[in-house]
Amino acid sequence: MKPGAFLLVAAVGLMVIGPARAQEDAPVLVSTGWLAEHLDDENVVILQVAMAHSGAPEAFIPGARLIDYHGVEREVDGLSVELPPVEALVDLFRRAGVADESHVILYGTNPAHLAARVFMTLEYLGHRGKTSVLDGGLERWQQEGRPTVREAGEGPRGTFTARVRGDVLISADEIAERLDDPLFTLIDARPADQYASGFIPGAYNLFWEELLVSEEEPRLQDRVAAEARFREAGARRDGVVVNYCQIGMRASYTYLITRHLGYDARFYDGSWNEWSRRSELPREAK
């Protein structure tokens, strides 16, 4: 979808909006302490993100409903992790109890990019300013001795309406047009060996796990250090930061942190999987 798209209304309650910003009241990241104080807030909807094929989780934050990570990805033309149709996404979040006024709190267990992918999806659907991720996920919650339950929460179906934003996803062609733009920063979230084998020209390698305290404690290690890495990458407050990886999973976390740091973020869902297949697109290697 091009950033200039303005208005389209469909039967599923879909509205397409352009880059105008909604009011952003909710923080991108919330702490375990914050969530503990707001567990019973009427408008808070807590969603635990998990992979259904791995089996049901054994612990939940009280009141949290379960959402399947595979509901926000599908295979399209050989690209293994692409967003499903808007109609399917609307149904997914309605079944999870999300309404337009909900403040959605997302969390999961390792890897931390699972919840981040759902965050990006909700931003794409227009729920920006009303979606947060629990920094540190269930691991941090349990390390602090906070209560858990064995079953997911249940509740009524939500009334969520998609208002698709034109300033979240970006296409390969749009990236190719701006490779020489100094206001355009590319973040490659893959490990160094994958990056070295081939990357989009000008992309800065920031392996997403380097932003975490550790695998056992999957929370942002230090905001100051993260800001330094983004400045080193060339990120500017008056520019755009594009996040990509191999297939569009791990870059979800760098997208999350890009938003947390206050940059104008984009997500390239096709990522290197798509870019490397197109012989007409330039590439570099170490």
Tokens of 250: 């791990």
Q: Are 33 and 118 within one domain?
A: yes
Count of structural domains, the chain = 2
Radius of gyration of the chain (CA): 18
Question: pLDDT, tens digit, for every residue of 96-126?
Answer: 999 999 999 999 988 999 999 999 999 999 9
Q: Is residue 286 part of a domain?
A: no
Question: What distance in Å separates the CA atoms of residue 125 and residue 177, rounded to the nearest whole number?
Answer: 25
Q: What is the pLDDT of residue 224?
A: 95
- Average pLDDT over the chain reads 91
Q: Is residue 4 part of a domain?
A: no
* pTM for the whole structure: 0.90
Q: What is the pLDDT of residue 52?
A: 76
* Number of C-beta neighbours around residue 41 at 10 A: 12
Domain boundary among 148, 165, 182: 165
Q: Are 43 and 157 within one domain?
A: yes
Q: Are 26 and 150 within one domain?
A: yes
Q: Are 151 and 203 within one domain?
A: no
Evaluated on CA atoms 157, 159, 163, 168, the torsion sign reads negative
Q: Are 179 and 150 within one domain?
A: no
Q: Which residue type occupies 191?
A: P
Q: What is the pLDDT of residue 22?
A: 39
